[in-house]
Amino acid sequence: MNKIRTVVILVLIFGLILSGCSATDKNKGTDENNSVYPVELDESVRNEIDALFEKVLSRGTTYQECIEKAHASYEKLIAHGIPTVHYCFLEFLYGDPSELKEDLMADVSKKIIKTVRNDHIRMYGVKGYTSNEGSNGREWFDYTYSNAQVLWDYYIYEEFQEYFPVFDLLLKIAGDIE
């Protein structure tokens, strides 16, 4: 509990420093067309990702065993990129995934988000906001979602969207951003 409190305090301080301690109004009524990633997930892509998850999950009793025994399908999940993360966010928020699936979704999402962070130079700091190493899948998601909400409070919308496009997608899917 103290670790979480310390992380939240550090995130708040970091946010204040980066925002220049200025309080500016956000454009809460944003146009979905301005999104870096679309808020709707194509149904055929969703079905393909769902089938890949089922294939990987059918191979073992731990997510590491599943990955090892269905490595090609696991790599296909990662290759889908942001649509896989989108699928995972939807499942965490509105689905009823098993603990095994939550662990696998967190693992896949972390790998994809790290790639997005490396490809998007200005999206700094995301690793620290999505890590929560040693946690299970649900704890990882809750930690990531909570940090996205904290960061949302410290940036004007355009900066938040530019620096943290994956978090922008998460908060839009959750209905926190219109």
pLDDT over 60 at 124, yes or no: no
More confident residue, 14 or 40: 40
Interval 130-177: pLDDT, tens: 555 667 999 999 999 999 999 899 899 898 888 888 899 999 999 998
Residue 163 to residue 37: CA distance in whole angstroms: 13
Q: What is the reported pLDDT for 115? A: 77
- Taking only the tens place, the pLDDT of each residue in 30-89 is 444 455 788 889 999 999 999 999 999 999 999 999 999 999 999 999 999 999 999 999
pLDDT at 30: 41
Q: Which amino acid is at 101?
A: K
Torsion angles phi and psi, residue 168, rounded to 5 = -60, -45
User: How many Cβ atoms sit within 10 Å of the Cβ of residue 156?
Assistant: 14
Quote the Cα angle for 76-80-83, to 5°.
Answer: 140
The pLDDT of residue 39: 85
Burial of 49 (C-beta count, 10 Å sphere; 0-12/13-18/19+): buried
pLDDT at 118: 55
Residue 152 and residue 160 in contact, taking contact as beta carbons nearer than 8 Å: yes
DSSP percent split of the chain into helix, strand, coil, nearest 5: 70, 0, 30
